[in-house]
Amino acid sequence: MTLHLVTDDIALEQKLKVGYSAWARGDTLALASLFCEDCEFTLVGNPVLNPHAGLRIGIAGLTEVLGHFHRVFEVREFLIEKIVAKGDDAFVHWHSSLMFRANGRVIDSERCDLVRFRGRLIQSMRCFYDSASMAITTGRAQVAPADSRAPVLQAGLKVS
């Protein structure tokens, strides 16, 4: 089944608002309909600290990572701060409050995304966020103890 949203004739800023609304409610099918078949989706960061980090190519990779994300996190609040679009490029600054389902911890996340369109579809998206806070929330890293001379266990490695 293919989903077609009526978004061809709206401004890129509005199209992005439709896409981010789909992301916030976990509607990966609606979100994927805004991307090119050969899209590139990159969540910048270390996959050891965040398994969602890395490059995904194509709709299958995009829907896989977004589907997994929404199984692991619940979006509690979502706010777009600013969208700037010029030509085929856009920048989106946004915030969300996410609950990590495994332990109930909540993270207030701030993100900046660089978006490139090809025609009326998203060709690439590079997402920048606070990967350290995400790793701490999910238990993949620990906060350093108050005594900074003590060894710290971070991302499975002992650091001194």
> Does residue 61 lie within any of the structural domains?
yes
Do 142 and 154 touch, CB atoms closer than 8 A?
A: yes
- In this prediction, residue 1 carries a pLDDT of 43
Rounded distance between C-alpha atoms, residue 74 and residue 27, angstroms:
13
Number of independent structural domains in the chain: 1
pLDDT digits (tens, 9 = 90+) for 95-151: 999 999 999 999 999 999 999 999 999 999 999 998 888 888 888 888 777 766 655
Beta strand extents in 4-148 (DSSP E only): 35-43, 54-57, 73-86, 89-100, 106-118, 121-129
Task: Compute the distance between CA of residue 19 and CA of residue 6 in angstroms, rounded to an integer.
Answer: 12
93: domain CATH number? 3.10.450.50
Longest CA span, the chain? 59
Residue 145 resides in a domain: no
Which residues span the domain enclosing 40?
12-137+155-159
Give me the pLDDT at residue 51, please: 86
What's the pTM? 0.81
Cα(65)–Cα(53) distance, integer angstroms: 9
Beta-bridge partners for 153: 158
- 9-52 per-position pLDDT tens digit: 689 999 999 999 999 999 999 999 999 999 999 999 988 888 88
Is 5 within a domain?
Answer: no
Assess if residue 142 is contained within a domain.
no
